[in-house]
Chain A
Amino acid sequence: MNAKRLAGFILPLTGIAMAGLLWAATSQYVPDLPSPLKTWQESKIYLLEPFAKRGEMDQGMGRLAYYSLMRVARGFLLGALIGTPLGLLLGLSKTLNRMFDPIIQVLRPISPLAWLPLGLVLFQKSEPAALFAIAVCSMWPTVINGAAGVKAIPQDYWNVAKVLRLSKVTTFVKIVIPSTLPYLFTGYRLSLGIAWLVIVASEMLTGTPGVGGFLWQEYNSLIYAHILLAILTIGFVGFCLDRLMGMAEARLRAI
């Protein structure tokens, strides 16, 4: 038992150490790639003073991540607000499903990099364009899972609704929503993951302050250590988001 717990601790650390070694080794051969130690030395100020604000892009990592997260939250919420009812409707109505399924399948694989210019054309400003790109890219898992969840409602529950003569509204609130909630949360989790992917791309293109904007600016300023810092931050934040949604999802399934 204790050995198992120890392994659960040591094995991930070993994996991280190996990846670090690979990084260190690569940096010996690629002159522009800073070693882990150099990366730490050049970027520790961003981590040790995470909320400092020295200039538009020259801010602590915590502050930049906060900007990005707020943008993701708004875009993701917008996507969820559109995607949830859309998914439920598509699940409830065969006609609507047949009408919109082809267009969804075509829109789904479009990259955020393709949506962003359209957003800029539509809204003229970078901030709403970024939100647009995040919402449009991230809502598809919510839509598809919502529809799948409604289709997966057992016939038994529909029969209960019929036998108890529940109204359409009551059926929706008391049966459809609770029954699809686990599916919706799986959708939200995937959607949030995508939203976080999109944020970096959209910040890079629009140059707004945030982790992605910082990354692009440091690339232009040839400060490669900061690029690595930004990449690691993006990964870490994404990991935390996924874990949080996973916990919410597990909690819901336990009911």
Chain B
Amino acid sequence: MAFIEIQGVSKSFTVNRKTRHVLEDVNLTVERGEFISIVGFMGCGKSTLLNIAAGLQFADGGRVTIGGDIVRGVRKETAYVFQNYSLLPWLSAIGNVQLAVSTAFPSWTKERQLGHSQRYLELVGLGNALHRRPGQLSGGMRQRVAIARAFALEPEILFLDEPFGALDALTRGNLQQELAQLCMATDRLVTTIMITNNVEEALLLSDRIVPMTSGPGATLGPSVDVAMPRPRTAAQLQHDDQALRVRTNVIECLTEYLKTARVRRRPAAGATASDAREPSPAIAVPMENGS
């Protein structure tokens, strides 16, 4: 049995008596220590899926298990990084981290909790901004605090919801690199599920990339392995053959989803609705070490 199993998960929302099926029969298995990226277009239901996996929201059908237990709420061995930082503006950087630490490790002394929080803030390069409030920090620095807060929990599972989505391109590149190193630096085995709409980001960080079809009724496509040693650098990815293949593959796959989704929305424009619902073409990726 895999470490994280998402089985037949579906979810719909009803707004003004109109039901929108966001997720339909989503299946995914993640092994312990794997870094998985789910790549898809904006608004396709990626965040909903991540929220369900993390126990923030609940599925209408199907189930999620972690280590064999059904997920019924946020578990204590998990940490979550939000796209919009989600720091508490009335607490300093260290205050934000310490709030998390004091809840996760209540038996520690206050000094130990503070020292622990400080260590993780220093690890993300914020040693000289410990007592600044989020309002006094740049976007990149805020996301660093959020990442420090997540890592300070020493999680077994890390959920990343477009963690660099709100940052400018340069800051994003920097922070991606740092996250890659941070993931390698911990001696524990951390399993990570990241949501992104950036294929390059997924390539840089993950062991496996899972494309997501466009909603409504989104589901996951066949996953693509990235069999390159981590941590990787952006420059390395520019020229690597395998990176090129994976990139092409994922982008083709996503483009295909976009086409079928358009056809599905306008069945009159050529294909019939039933045509469009046929499974997407299989993706053939040459793999050196496969799953």
Contact = CB atoms under 8 A, between A and B. Distances in A.
Interface residues of A, number: 16
B248 interface: no
Given A156-B84, A159-B82, A165 B103 contact: yes
Nearest to B87: A160
B74 interface: yes
B88 A159 contact: no
A160 B74 contact: no
Q: Which of A167, A174, A179 has the most CB of B within 10 A?
A: A174
Interface in B43-62: 54, 56
Given A167-B103, A255-B90, A162 B56 contact: yes
Q: Which of B88, B91, B104 has the most CB of A within 10 A?
A: B88
A148 to B, nearest CB: 19
Contact of A164 (B89, B90, B99, B133): B99
A175 interface: yes
Given A166-B103, A170-B103, 10 more contacts: A159-B56, A162-B73, A163-B79, A163-B80, A164-B103, A175-B88, A178-B90, A179-B90, A255-B90, A255-B133
A191 B76 CA distance: 43
A157 interface: yes
B99 A157 contact: no
B: contact size bracket? 20 to 34
Contact of A160 (B73, B88, B90, B133): B88
Given A159-B56, A174-B99, A165 B76 contact: yes
B79 A174 contact: no
Interface in A147-189: 156-157, 159-160, 162-167, 170, 174-175, 178-179
B86 interface: yes
Interface string A64-105: 000000000000000000000000000000000000000000
Contacts of A255: 89-90, 133
B74 A163 contact: yes
Contacts of B104: 164-165
Interface string B57-85: 00000000000000001101011101010
Given A165-B74, A165-B103, A156 B82 contact: yes
7 contacts: A157-B86, A157-B88, A160-B86, A163-B54, A163-B78, A164-B103, A178-B90
A162 B88 contact: no
A166 B102 CA distance: 9
Nearest to B81: A163
B86 A162 contact: no
B71 to A, nearest CB: 13
Contacts of A159: 56, 80, 82, 86
Contacts of B251: none
Nearest to A255: B90
B50 to A, nearest CB: 11
B56 A163 contact: yes
A159 B84 CA distance: 12
B179 interface: no
Given A159-B56, A178-B90, A255-B90, A166 B99 contact: yes
Nearest to A155: B86
Q: Which 3 A-B pairs have the closest CB atoms?
A: A163-B80, A178-B90, A156-B86
Nearest to B133: A255
B100 interface: yes
Contacts of A175: 88
A76 B84 CA distance: 40
A64 B80 CA distance: 60
Contacts of A163: 54, 56, 74, 78-80
B180 to A, nearest CB: 23
A74 to B, nearest CB: 30
Contacts of A165: 74, 76, 103-104
Nearest to B101: A164
Contacts of B86: 156-157, 159-160
